Amino acid sequence: MVSVNSLAQAEALDAADLLAPWRERFSIPPGPDGQPCLYLCGNSLGLQPKTAHDRMAELMRAWAEQGIAGYFGEGGWGPYADRVKAPLARLVGAHPDEVAAANTLTVNLHLMLSAFYQPTAQRWKILVEEKAFPSDRYAAASQLRARGYDERAGLVELSPRHGESTLRTDDIIATLERADDVALLLLSGINYYTGQLFELEPIVAAAQRRGIVVGVDLAHAIGNVPLELHRWGVDFAAWCSYKYLNAGPGAVGGLYVHRRHHGVSSGRLEGWWGYAPEGRFLMRPWFEGAVGADAWVMSSPPAPMLALLAAGLEAFEAVGLPTLRAKSLGLTGLLEQRLATLPAGQVEVITPSDPAQRGAQLSLRVGAHRKALYQALTARGVVGDWREPDVIRVAPVPLYNRYAEVWRLVELIRELL
Ligand SMILES: *Cc1c(COP(=O)(O)O)cnc(C)c1O
């Protein structure tokens, strides 16, 4: 990253940025002064692509004009679930038959755990990262309880070393190598709190050497960083689509099942939409699953949500993740560089400084007494978020954020400190 020493230099980067026109295709909410706010919260809720209105209107028209025929007809919503498959597969590095859009994230985690968490007398515990997103913890703990285990004994945490904020890959691998009683590792692709991107390839390899199943929560990773789930051998994954994928609040989530598990139905929870499509309407009494991840889709697809997901995916299809990632590295690199110019000891970036171990987000530890700093930023039109006890999260998103915004953010922090 070239060093940027003035707002004018940051603006020059924006002027040269081939992705800059994409910003116009998103609705940026106004800040307190009526100008577009400084939106750095795409890691929590991505902004609305303007084409979302068109996709939704098409669906409404098909429903109004075709009624039930819209499930099957030309221009209807029947093919939506298949249309989003290839784009999703590209984003997670999988074969299209390994992914499906369905449900929401925590529901998908439960579906996956119901099947992939197969405890034995020897191996029965679930390993999670410390400060895993609470929903993931609750899912894992309640799965333990449902199988009759004591969740407090069965949920094991990976903790950073004393005085450190993030996990070392070597430590994760060493834990896996010692873990004689662990059945399953449930890890996020990127930790929501620290912004750490886990080095999944060596972690998955270590888990597999020990016969430990690996599931990954991609909430903060999909659409943010390159992923190779199939090649890395990840067993299962799940994600939501309202963060970097910009598919809207409550968007339909997704799931991934590695090909080596296709056709293995033990523990899988099933419903009619997972039936092989040719036979779905034969209404037979016994389930015969579709090929691959589709066998996991239990219910008829939520067409409006798929229409919004299609709108969100358009940008990724048009631009490609490598191009987005290149700009993302630039934006987040600039943010880190500028934060380093603040007076020492005020703002500690707890996200790894290695760009290969982070996505767009940086987590700024400002001290629990500094919530007022966050509030003052909010009053000036910065949209980030505060995570207890002492962290401000900000994520410049390459589709709609600018280098000049990163510059402005850090100058605002400097003023307010
Ligand atoms: C955002 C997020 C969730 C949210 O789950 P929903 O079921 O979509 O509400 C879960 N886990 C992680 C890691 C997240 O970042």
> What is the DSSP code string of 169-210?
HHHHHHHHHH-TTEEEEEEESB-TTT-BBP-HHHHHHHHHHT
Which residue from 111, 130, 133 has its CB within 8 A of the most atoms of ligand 1, so it is best to mutate? 133
Q: Which residues of 104-142 are buried (b: 16+ CB within 10 A; e: fewer)?
A: bbbebbbbbbebbbebeeebbbbbbbebbbeebbebbbe
- Report the separation in Å between the CA atom of 122 and the middle of ligand 1, taken as the mean of its atom positions: 30
What is the distance between the alpha carbons of residues 244 and 7, in angstroms, rounded to a whole number? 27
Q: How are strands ordered across the β-sheet holding 362-365? A: 348-349, 362-365, 391-394, 385-387
Find the 46 Cα to ligand 1 centroid distance in Å. Answer: 14
Going from the Cα of 395 to the center of ligand 1, the distance in angstroms, rounded, reads 17
User: What distances in angstroms separate CA 98 from CA 102, 267, 272, one per listed residue?
Assistant: 13, 18, 19
pLDDT, one tens digit per residue, over 209-257 is 999 999 999 999 999 999 999 999 999 999 999 999 999 999 999 999 9
Cβ-proximal residues to 74 (8 Å cutoff; 6+ apart), any chain: none
Query: What is the residue-level pLDDT of the chain in tens, covering all 417 positions?
Result: 668 999 999 999 999 999 999 999 999 999 999 999 999 999 999 999 999 999 999 999 999 999 999 988 778 898 999 999 999 999 999 999 999 999 999 999 999 999 999 999 999 999 999 999 999 999 999 999 999 999 999 999 999 999 999 999 999 999 999 999 999 999 999 999 999 999 999 999 999 999 999 999 999 999 999 999 999 999 999 999 999 999 999 999 999 999 999 988 889 999 999 999 999 999 999 999 999 999 999 999 999 999 999 999 999 999 999 999 999 999 999 999 999 999 999 999 999 999 999 999 999 999 888 999 999 999 999 999 999 999 999 999 999 999 999 999 999 999 999
For ligand 1, is residue 26 a contact (CB within 6 Å)?
no
Q: What share of the chain is helix, strand, coil (3-state, %, to 5)?
A: 45, 15, 40
- The DSSP 8-state label assigned to residue 37 in this structure reads P
Structure tokens at 129: 């990262």
What is the distance in angstroms between the CA of the first residue and the CA of the last residue of the chain? 26
The confidence score (pLDDT) of residue 1 equals 61
| Per-residue pLDDT at 87 | 98
Structure tokens given for 22 = 């994409």
Distance 344 CA to ligand 1 centre (A): 34
In terms of Cβ atoms closer than 10 Å to its own Cβ (0-12, 13-18, 19+), residue 221 is buried
Q: Is the N-terminal amide bond of 304 cis, ω within 30° of 0?
A: no
Give the Cα separation of 371 and 406 in Å (integer): 20
Task: State how far the Cα of 394 lies from the Cα of 300, in Å rounded to an integer.
Answer: 36
Predicted confidence (pLDDT) per residue in 256-315, tens digit: 999 999 988 889 999 999 999 999 999 999 999 999 999 999 999 999 999 999 999 999
Q: What's residue 271's pLDDT?
A: 97
Index of the ligand 1 atom closest to the CA of residue 108:
7
Beta bridge mates, 383: 39
